[in-house]
Chain A
Amino acid sequence: MAAALATDDLTKDYRVGFWRTRPYRALDALTLQVQPGEVFGFLGPNGAGKTTTLKILMGLVFPTSGRAEMFGRPVGDLHVKRRLGYLPEQPYFYDYLTAEELLIYFAGLFGYRGADRRARASAVLDEVEIGAERRRPLRTFSKGMLQRVGIAQALVNDPELVILDEPMSGLDPLGRRAVRALILALRDRGSTVFFSSHVLSDAEALCSRVAILARGRLVTEGRLAEMLEFQVRGWDVVVAGVTPALQAALAARATRMTAIGDGRCAVELPSMYSPETIAADVASAGASIVSINPIRATLEDLFVQQVADAARQVERR
């Protein structure tokens, strides 16, 4: 089966400067594959090249070199567009239309006719919880409501692949939760979701795979579980019934110890000491282990480390 989305050595240079223009590489040889059914997070700091990539995928800018395909066809192909939904970053729509009119217009462009067109528009507006306000002009909508209309228009054709550029932007906590639920619902009905974000908690909660981009280059890509699994950097152990002697013994190995109260202590062990290494001491002191949790690198840690490495590499060049 063809990848839902694939890029090969995708590169984009912009001309910058007024008189003597020079090239500025916004995207450098991006090679990426997103399989059908995946929720894929496309992460990176501002200016990393995320939006440039998405614009190439949507046919809004043309690559300087390389290839981009969706469902095995080149981007911009009308057959591909029929299977695609797209939410631009900070979307703007025709503010003289009502939300309902906009959705009916866009449903028409996907070939819906007559009553089907109206029903489809209504169904997606229901899905993003735009109620009676759907009959108000878009110029009266708040930023969060416009974002919801943006998501509705991206789903109007019941797409197989949904590309979302910063979908949480401008949303309050309730709105973010609703979008998260919507992305998971899309995944459950078999759609592929490719979204860019710099909000890492969203990616951590939603994605099966992520790619991190920095300064136009792909710095890492893979399954979130795998990327973070091997980076267990220690253990959080809570011990009850801690005696002064046990406390001294644990302190020798712990990177940090915090008294919780009632004889309980939180012990942070470095990765070189597994919890088993303290189990004997705890048992012999008549204390007990209440809980053990691995301290894993968060996506944020990985992100900061990868982006900093990329910056150092660029400086060395």
Chain B
Amino acid sequence: MRPIALIAVNVFRESVRDKVLYNLVLFAVALIGASYVIGQLTAGQDIKIIKDLGLAAISLFGLFIAVFIGIGLVSKEVEKQSVYALLAKPVTRTDIVLGKYAGLILTLAVNLAVMTVALYAVLAVMAWMGMHPTPGLDPATLDPGLLTAIALIFVELAVVTAIALFFSTFSTPMLSAALTFAFFIAGRFSTDLDHFNTVTDSRAALWLTTGLYWVLPNFGPFDVRAEVVHGQPLPTGEILMTVLYGVLYTSALLVAATFVFSRRDFK
């Protein structure tokens, strides 16, 4: 466990030194700017819009971090040959894959935590400034349901990171980025694949779409933004099943990434 933790801390340190956390400043500026504009233009709906916008921004910023750091995690190490000295130490190739993954998850967690605090801060300020129908810090403004949505975004990004990491064990960063984005977009529309039988009778097409439905990630259940923003109830069982699905899908990807990485020759 110790080598994995040390490698993870090093990945986190690399993210900090490479100024990845600067995106947080961009996030804060974008959110505060949007809040000001929305406050001027809308009446009564501003808090809901800010919540929706904030969650979308957290998801988008997180996605960029997960993909653009994830694709370089292993490939950069191999390309620049820093893996030569690392593998000579008492670490296994599995330690390297898991350590790299854990490091990026730590980076994402810190990013999401700071963005969450920023979102709540903007909501609080808007409420205090009277942009809400009932000024003051009421429960509707500082809705803890946002945390559920953000937790699911975090699990979704953990899956995306595992996809990027998997591709980065055998592919170039550019191709890994393209494939990861393709998986992400396909995963968002995965439910449509399950309903393909309503638009075609072709058996081959149905086998293909059913196969893809089972192989591709299904990111649909991770998106509960609309429910949270509009205060609709979120069944705990469904949330837990979604988290479990994310954990299992991530585990399968990490096993596959380790399998590929453990058999690679570093020429």
Q: Is B267 an interface residue (CB 8 A)?
A: yes
In angstroms, Cα B88 to Cα A105, docked, is 13
In angstroms, Cα B84 to Cα A153, docked, is 12
Q: Within B1-39, which residues are at the interface with A (CB < 8 Å)? A: 2-3, 6, 10, 13-14, 17-18
Name the A residues within 8 Å of B263 (CB-CB). Answer: 62
Smallest CB gap from A80: residue in B: B90
If the complex has contacts A91-B84, A92-B82, A94-B10, are A110 and B18 also in contact, measured as CB distance less than 8 A?
no
A-B interface contact total, Cβ < 8 Å:
72
Q: Within A67-116, which residues are at the interface with B (CB < 8 Å)? A: 78, 81-82, 84-86, 88, 90-94, 96-97, 101, 105-106, 108-111
Which of A52-60, A184-192, A207-215 lies at the interface? A52-60
Q: Are A96 and B80 in contact (CB under 8 A)?
A: no
In angstroms, Cα B87 to Cα A84, docked, is 11
Name the A residues within 8 Å of B91 (CB-CB). Answer: 81, 109
Q: Is A150 an interface residue (CB 8 A)?
A: yes
Q: Is A273 an interface residue (CB 8 A)?
A: no
Name the B residues within 8 Å of A109 (CB-CB). Answer: 3, 6, 89-91
In angstroms, Cα B260 to Cα A31, docked, is 30
Name the B residues within 8 Å of A55 (CB-CB). Answer: 84, 266-267
Q: Are A96 and B89 in contact (CB under 8 A)?
A: no
If the complex has contacts A96-B13, A97-B13, are A82 and B84 also in contact, measured as CB distance less than 8 A?
no
Q: Is B238 an interface residue (CB 8 A)?
A: no
In angstroms, Cα B233 to Cα A132, docked, is 60
Q: Are A88 and B81 in contact (CB under 8 A)?
A: yes
Shortest distance in angstroms between A317's beta carbon and chain B's nearest beta carbon? 25
If the complex has contacts A78-B90, A94-B10, are A60 and B82 also in contact, measured as CB distance less than 8 A?
no
Q: Are A59 and B85 in contact (CB under 8 A)?
A: no
In angstroms, Cα B90 to Cα A14, docked, is 27
Q: Is A232 an interface residue (CB 8 A)?
A: no
Q: Within B32-52, which residues are at the interface with A (CB < 8 Å)? A: none
If the complex has contacts A14-B267, A61-B267, A88-B85, are A108 and B90 also in contact, measured as CB distance less than 8 A?
no
Q: Is B92 an interface residue (CB 8 A)?
A: yes
Smallest CB gap from B14: residue in A: A96
Number of B interface residues in the complex (CB < 8 A)? 24
Name the A residues within 8 Å of B84 (CB-CB). Answer: 55, 58, 60, 86, 88, 91
Q: Is B265 an interface residue (CB 8 A)?
A: yes
Q: Are A81 and B89 in contact (CB under 8 A)?
A: yes
Shortest distance in angstroms between A267's beta carbon and chain B's nearest beta carbon? 53
Smallest CB gap from B80: residue in A: A92
Smallest CB gap from B78: residue in A: A60
Shortest distance in angstroms between B117's beta carbon and chain A's nearest beta carbon? 26
Name the A residues within 8 Å of B87 (CB-CB). Answer: 58-60
Q: Are B90 and A110 in contact (CB under 8 A)?
A: yes
Smallest CB gap from A87: residue in B: B85
Smallest CB gap from B81: residue in A: A92
Which of B13, B82, B92 is the one whose CB lies under 8 Å from A93?
B82
Smallest CB gap from B265: residue in A: A61
In angstroms, Cα B84 to Cα A108, docked, is 17
In angstroms, Cα B266 to Cα A14, docked, is 11
Name the B residues within 8 Å of A61 (CB-CB). Answer: 265-267
Name the A residues within 8 Å of B17 (CB-CB). Answer: 96
Name the A residues within 8 Å of B2 (CB-CB). Answer: 108, 111
Name the A residues within 8 Å of B266 (CB-CB). Answer: 55, 60-61
Name the B residues within 8 Å of A150 (CB-CB). Answer: 85
Q: Are A93 and B85 in contact (CB under 8 A)?
A: yes
In angstroms, Cα B267 to Cα A81, docked, is 20
Name the A residues within 8 Å of B14 (CB-CB). Answer: 94, 96
Which residue numbers of A lie inside 8 Å of B, CB to CB? 14, 55, 58-62, 78, 81-82, 84-86, 88, 90-94, 96-97, 101, 105-106, 108-111, 150, 153-154
Show 12 residue pairs from A and B whose CB-CB distance is below 8 angstroms, ordered by the A residue: A59-B87, A60-B84, A60-B265, A61-B265, A81-B88, A81-B91, A84-B88, A90-B81, A91-B85, A92-B82, A105-B6, A153-B85
Known: A58-B88, A90-B81, A111-B90. 7 other contacts (CB 8 A): A55-B266, A61-B265, A82-B90, A91-B85, A94-B10, A94-B14, A109-B6
Q: Which 6 pairs, one residue from A and one from B, show the smallest C-beta to C-beta distance?
A: A86-B88, A88-B84, A96-B17, A61-B265, A109-B89, A81-B90
